[in-house]
Amino acid sequence: MIGVVVVSHSPALAHAAVDLALQMVPGEKPAIAIAAGAGEGLIGTDATAVSAAIDEVASPDGVLVIMDLGSAVMSAEMALDFRSSEAEVRLSSAPFVEGILAAVVTAAGGASLDDVDREARGALEPKISMLGDAPAPEAPVPEVTTSGATASGAETAPAGLSAELTIVNPDGLHARPAATLVSTLAGFDAKLTVVNTRSGTGPVAANSLIGLLSLGAKSGDVLTVAASGAQAAEALARVTELVTEGFGEV
């Protein structure tokens, strides 16, 4: 599991963003370190603190660093020269709050550094689509590689089992139930894709938080879930149970 470092000018902002993200992960969580503020209550960043944070969560799987403002990027770049660990470190251009949430949820599923970074960098796409600032991306969100699944895109629904499931949550498929679905699927050797039959959006990989949110699924929408792989039946049964029960929210 990769480590995540959060670099911010404000300790309060960093801790609030991390707390929000951690609420979306019910099971095992990735190692997260915060390097925020310039000491003694001052707003700012410290390259030495960033390097220490990187070393704290260094993993053979790598470390993803998410930063808030310009000088935080500069501090993170300097920190690469100070660190003692040899793990691969990726400085991500992801949006701060949405990127942290996407990174933590995706990393918790055992995804690779490349996949976690991609999910984090694409974290604004669902909001952009919902607000109509730009057309929804034509290419579906690629599948995230986790410890229980083989990497491949979600361009077409996999051959195998399928089910049509109705979203019963009053607020639709929002961040918390989507994160629950991603975390749940990490334990299955199966590939699942999801299509929103109302809007025609998808297919997207069912283990991609950003993909699921990009569906814009509202209460009452019907999702077509297709599954294949060694544990396709078990995974589809679990997804059916989660959706039918409203992900524990209804």
- What are 20-35's pLDDT values in tens digits? 999 999 889 999 999 9
Residue 137: pLDDT over 70 = no
Cis peptide before 126 (omega within 30 of 0): no
- Give me the residue label for tokens 């999910």: 119
Backbone dihedral region of 183: left (phi > 0), alpha (psi from -120 to 50 degrees) or beta? Answer: alpha
Task: Say what the pLDDT of residue 143 is.
Answer: 56
Q: What percent of the chain has pLDDT over 90?
A: 79
Residue 130: pLDDT over 70 = yes
Task: Say what the pLDDT of residue 157 is.
Answer: 44
Report the range of poorest mean pLDDT among 104-118, 132-146, 210-224: 132-146
Among candidate residues 29, 90, 174, 176, the one labeled active-site is 174
114: exposed, middle or buried (C-beta count within 10 Å: 0-12, 13-18, 19+)? Answer: middle
Task: Say what the pLDDT of residue 116 is.
Answer: 97
Residue 150: pLDDT over 90 = no
Report the range of poorest mean pLDDT among 129-133, 192-196, 224-228: 129-133
Q: Global pTM?
A: 0.82
Q: Find the mean pLDDT for residues 109-124.
A: 95
83-95 pLDDT tens trace: 999 999 999 999 9
Task: Say what the pLDDT of residue 121 is.
Answer: 96
Query: Could you tell me the domains of the chain?
Result: 3-128 (3.40.50.510), 162-248 (3.30.1340.10)
- Give me the residue label for tokens 């960043």: 45
9 is an active site residue: no
Residue 153: pLDDT over 60 = no
Task: Say what the pLDDT of residue 134 is.
Answer: 57
Strand partners, 4: 32, 64
Residue 152: pLDDT over 80 = no
Task: Say what the pLDDT of residue 249 is.
Answer: 87
Residue 158: pLDDT over 60 = no
Residue 149: pLDDT over 60 = no
Task: Say what the pLDDT of residue 39 is.
Answer: 81
